[in-house]
Amino acid sequence: MTIPLVTHPFYSYPFPGKHRFPMEKFDLLAKYCQEKGFLCGSNVFRPGKARKDLLETAHCSHYINRFINNQQSAKEQRRMGLPWSDGLVRRSLISPNGTFLSAQLALQYGIACHLAGGTHHAHFDFASGFCILNDLAITAKALLRQGKVKRVLIFDCDVHQGDGTASILADESDIFTCSIHCKKNFPVRKAQSDLDVELPPEISERDYLATVSETLTSLIAQQKPDLILYDAGVDIFTGDPLGLLSISNNGIREREESVLSLCKENNIPVATVIGGGYDDDRKALARRHGEIVRAAYTVYNL
């Protein structure tokens, strides 16, 4: 078996080069995975455009329509943080389906990696922080409604709190949201996850890795999830311009291996998404995001 990898060539569409959001990283990540032999014809899955009823499991239909038809207010667009375009709409309607597909593949194969996703700042009726549609919330709610799982754990290790995920899923008793993030970072107003682990900027790499491992170990024992959605954000990196933590490349590698090892040891299917990462060195950023795929091959002995 090879690791199922989910991606789409339109994840990186023509985009302003000087914008803070590194839209080209998705294409660079796919190319990196090809170079390393992780991504080949037999294990590539390409998602299609998400149906509106899937998106509406976690979002307001009026909001979806406003976004698609470029009818958001100037304030809404500023909060979104991305310039509206037809390309953005097309991409945004595909990516949530990529995470949904990855989760279904994980239930079948034990693991699957989406080479995008982790748009955890998107709320029920508004976009925020480069996030338009919340793929994690959509996927978890849809799988529960379809009866494919009974309990989902969303384990979010992006440097920023998954406020949109926490807000959308606040009343979902069968979905447990955990966010391990830097306390002094975006968003200023935090939501309340089922478990928020707030880290100080000065935390050591050793303590960070111990926190991630101990938290996931405890949650697996307590929650006994049928599926884990893992947001492997790499904006924890010491040089990331939008992160305030100081984790090295080796630390990121150790985190990914630790998380996936715990999933495998406990026989829990896991679907991964890449989350945040904003390094100006886009190729280095792609390699950093590629650590979750490399870890999948290492841990699952492939």
Residue 269, by phi and psi: left (phi above 0), alpha (psi -120 to 50) or beta? beta
pLDDT at residue 301 in the model: 80
Beta strands in 81-143 (DSSP E): 111-114
Task: Dump the DSSP string for 220-276.
Answer: HHHH--SEEEEE---TTBTT-TT----B-HHHHHHHHHHHHHHHHHTT--EEEE---
pLDDT at residue 41 in the model: 86
The answer to whether 234 and 170 are in contact (CB under 8 A) is no
pLDDT at residue 302 in the model: 64
Q: Could you identify the residue written with the tokens 């090809």? A: 34
Record the tokens describing residue 206, joined without a space.
């050793």
Which DSSP state fits 43? G
pLDDT at residue 114 in the model: 98
pLDDT at residue 75 in the model: 96
pLDDT in tens, 51-84: 999 999 999 999 999 999 999 999 999 999 999 9
Dihedral of CA atoms 267, 273, 277, 283 in degrees, nearest 10, equals: 100
> What predicted TM-score, i.e. pTM, was given to this entire model?
0.98
For residue 140, the Cα-to-chain-centroid distance in whole angstroms is 12
How many Å from the N-terminal Cα to the C-terminal Cα in the chain? Answer: 7
pLDDT at residue 1 in the model: 63
pLDDT at residue 17 in the model: 83
AA identity, residue 258: S
Measured CA to CA, the distance from residue 24 to residue 32 in angstroms comes to 12
Beta strands in the chain (DSSP E): 5-6, 44-45, 111-114, 152-156, 175-182, 195-199, 227-231, 270-273
For residue 159, the Cα-to-chain-centroid distance in whole angstroms is 12
Task: Dump the DSSP string for 48-72.
Answer: -PPPHHHHTTTS-HHHHHHHHTT--
Low-confidence ranges of the chain (pLDDT < 70): 1, 302
Residues ≥6 apart with Cβ < 8 Å to 258: 209, 212, 213, 216
Residue 26, by phi and psi: left (phi above 0), alpha (psi -120 to 50) or beta? alpha
pLDDT in tens, 168-213: 999 999 999 999 999 999 999 999 999 999 999 999 999 999 999 9
Nearest CA among 20, 87, 101, 91 for reference residue 277: 20
pLDDT at residue 18 in the model: 85
